[in-house]
Amino acid sequence: MRPVIEARGVAKEFRGTHALADVSFALEPDRIHGLLGRNGAGKTTLMRILAGQDRPSGGSVAMFGADPFENAAVAQRICFVRESQVYPENFRVGHVLAAARLLYPTWADDVATRLVAAFDLPQDRPVKKLSRGMTSALGIVVGIAARAPITMFDEPYLGLDPAARQVFYDALLADFSAHPRTVVLSTHLIDEVATLLERVVVVHRGRVVLDADADDVRGTAAAVTGPSPRVEQFIAGREVLHREDLGAYAKVTVLGRLTAADRVRARDLDLELAPVSLQQLVIHATAGAR
């Protein structure tokens, strides 16, 4: 399938800081992608470039095959929700929704109304007077109700309590299922969104260190638990990601796919095998100095 988002050797330098060094990937349409990485990895910089809000210092990006920078036709098809969204002075919640309705031809009023109620957002309150969580909720309402063909969320949940975050995840998934679109979600709460993500792109020190289907990533490590000597016997020769000693027992996370023979051997040694979370694998992929 033809990619809708492409980054080719994207670099970005801010007066001596190499925020992005050489980023390349291609994202397919109508999937939910996770853009993951540690603080300062370059995620926001990359999303701003993809949204046409900044230019790369090197390389290029294509959204629907076109350069998004100062491209009104492309901008109309992209909704970029970021944590530090700035709204015009004196705008109230209702004004933000009215402006978004004008901006996005795909805007769904019924979805906006439902989400405003779910987040308990006061329509006539000035945006400046909203709590941090309410400001995040407003961005989320716009991001979902816009139904833009490309929707990017950059850590959209700041200040949102767990129940409100669940409202976000449920609403995103429900609306995405009914109206598939390309979603890019940048988050540090990987375990919370793990089931939503179909593909993950992990950025570290301005480079892509992992770009794969989430399901494929999940199978690349396993946690082995049991009596220490038998665990050691089983893991001999494998790359260890993490080790926990629990008295006479040990829980060791090893890298590499387990074969059917490995599973039989583990059963014979009376060892327990468990999958490793996406979050742990991303932490491993981005370990080391930034």
Ligand X SMILES: Nc1ncnc2c1ncn2[C@@H]1O[C@H](COP(=O)(O)OP(=O)(O)OP(=O)(O)O)[C@@H](O)[C@H]1O
Q: Footprint of ligand X on this chain (CB under 6 A)? A: 14, 17, 19, 37, 39-45
Nearer to ligand X, 237 or 288 (CB): 288
Burial 26-49 (b: 16+ CB within 10 A, else e): ebeeebbbbbbbbeebbbbbbbbb
Min dist. Cβ of residue 41 to ligand X (A): 4
Residue 288 tokens read as 């080391």
Min dist. Cβ of residue 263 to ligand X (A): 37
Nearer to ligand X, 136 or 253 (CB): 136
Contacts of 215 (CB under 8 A, 6+ apart): none
108 vs 112: CA distance, rounded Å: 6
205 vs 40: CA distance, rounded Å: 8
Min dist. Cβ of residue 149 to ligand X (A): 23
Nearer to ligand X, 39 or 177 (CB): 39
Min dist. Cβ of residue 193 to ligand X (A): 15
Nearer to ligand X, 8 or 38 (CB): 38
Contacts of 153 (CB under 8 A, 6+ apart): 81, 139, 140, 143, 183, 184, 185, 186, 187
265 vs 175: CA distance, rounded Å: 45
97 secondary structure, DSSP code: H
Min dist. Cβ of residue 233 to ligand X (A): 40
Min dist. Cβ of residue 288 to ligand X (A): 16
Nearer to ligand X, 59 or 219 (CB): 59
15 vs 134: CA distance, rounded Å: 35
Nearer to ligand X, 17 or 233 (CB): 17
Q: For residues 245 and 263, is the Cβ–Cβ distance under 8 A?
A: no
